Structure 1
Amino acid sequence: MSNIPEVGQPAPDFSTPDQNETLLSLGDFSSQWVVLYFYPKDDTPGCTTEAKDFTELNQKFSELGAKILGVSPDSGKSHGKFINKHNLSITLLSDPEHLLTEAYGAWRLKKFMGKEYMGVARSTFLIAPNRIIAYTWPNVKVKSHAQQVLTKLQELAATSQSAE
């Protein structure tokens, strides 16, 4: 069974290249919320919809102090083409060795047409500025997912501000 981090646990750290081959770590976003979402492959129908939905809401996430990071096994070069083709405004991380994907329990046994194989299970993690997992979506359905994440972030950000 995959080891999915739970709400309240420290978020697994990472150091992974983005679409520009710039190495990014969780610590680079220490004062921000992070939406870390895992998806199977650049430029496929579901993954394109999800990336475009997050891009459409990116300004609202930014206003709440959140950074959106998409993760797939694709190369930085593939990510760059994907971003340019669909005019995406989010950051995409390259994880060809599945190290980050495994750390978040998103590299799982999948089934398609009766065959079992290991692959990326569409999952999203909302990480608080203190680097603690604030909310998880371990089995994402693309339709309206970005909006669900934004709504949850609005709730949690409001709660953390009133607690200060």
Structure 2
Amino acid sequence: MSERLSPGDTAPDFSLPDADGAQVSLAGFRGRKVIVYFYPAALTPGCTKQACDFTDNLDLLAGHGYEVIGISPDKPEKLAKFREKEDLKVTLLADPEKKVLEAYGAFGEKKLYGKTVTGVIRSTVIVDEDGRVERALYNVKATGHVAKLIKDLGL
């Protein structure tokens, strides 16, 4: 079970391939706030809803200085399909080895339909301009999460 992050922690840096195979690193976003969200699988109903909600609110979030990055264990090719099919505008990164998921506490035991399973824990971590964790939210719901996040951030 990976350790969960807390406000004030230094966000673990990462460099992962995006849907086109280009490397994207957290360090490249220094000076900007980043919403990093972790989801189980591209092209599934809940994850599609969440990604579409982030895309629909991207202008609002960007207007307040937030970048949005979605990370899943999918391969870049699947992320490209997901982006094209749903017309997504958020940056999608591939973490098939689950190293970043684990570093952020977003992979481990969770309840799924009453059973304990090991997998991706739907999570959102907000990283400030200096690379520190501002908020770390775990076991978030796919539906309504973005609206709640916007409300909680006072945007």
Give your verdict on TM over 0.5. Answer: yes
User: Aligned partners of 1:83 and 1:122: how far apart in 2?
Assistant: 19
1:70-89 map, 5 Å: 70-89=70-89
Offset, 1:76: 0.6
Compute the displacement of 1:148 (Å). 2.0
Contact 1:64 1:154 in 2 (8 A): no
In structure 2, the partner of 1:46 is: 46
Q: What are structure 2's unaligned runs of at least 5 residues?
A: none
Unmatched tracts of structure 1, length 5 or more: 156-164
In structure 2, how many angstroms separate the alpha carbons of the residues matched to 1:144 and 1:64? 20
1:158 alignment partner in structure 2: none
Alpha-carbon distance between aligned partners in 2 of 1:58 and 1:71, rounded to the nearest angstrom: 16
- Provide the C-alpha distance between the structure 2 equivalents of 1:147 and 1:21, rounded to a whole number of angstroms: 30
Question: How far did residue 139 of structure 1 move?
Answer: 1.3
Q: Which residue of 1 aligns with 2:148?
A: 148
Aligned partner of residue 148 in structure 2, secondary structure: helix
1:18 matches 2:27: no
- The 5 Å alignment of 1:7-156 reads 7-112=7-112, 115-154=115-154
- Give the TM-score normalised by the residue count of structure 1: 0.89
Kindly indicate whether the alpha-carbon contact (under 8 Å) linking 2:2 and 2:103 is maintained by their aligned counterparts in 1.
Answer: no
Larger radius of gyration: 1
**Partner-residue secondary structure (3-state), 1:79:** helix
Amino acid at match of 2:61: F
Q: CA deviation at 1:110?
A: 2.6
Aligned-partner Cα distance in 1 for 2:74–2:134: 27
Cα distance in structure 2, aligned partners of 1:115 and 1:143: 21
Task: Look up the SS of the partner of 1:35 in the other structure.
Answer: strand
| SS of the residue 1:82 aligns to | helix
- How far residue 133 of structure 1 moved from its aligned partner, in angstroms, is 0.5
> Aligned partners of 1:21, 1:136: CA distance in 2, in Å?
27
Report the Cα offset of residue 116 of structure 1.
Answer: 3.7
Name the counterpart of 1:160.
none
* Percent sequence identity over aligned pairs: 39
Deviations, residues 112-133 of structure 1 (Å, cap 9, x unaligned): 4565432001000011011110
Q: CA deviation at 1:154?
A: 4.0
Structure 1 pair 152/32, CA: closer, same or farther in 2 (3 Å)? farther
Higher helix share: 1
Question: In structure 1, how many angstroms separate the alpha carbons of the residues matched to 2:121 and 2:33?
Answer: 22
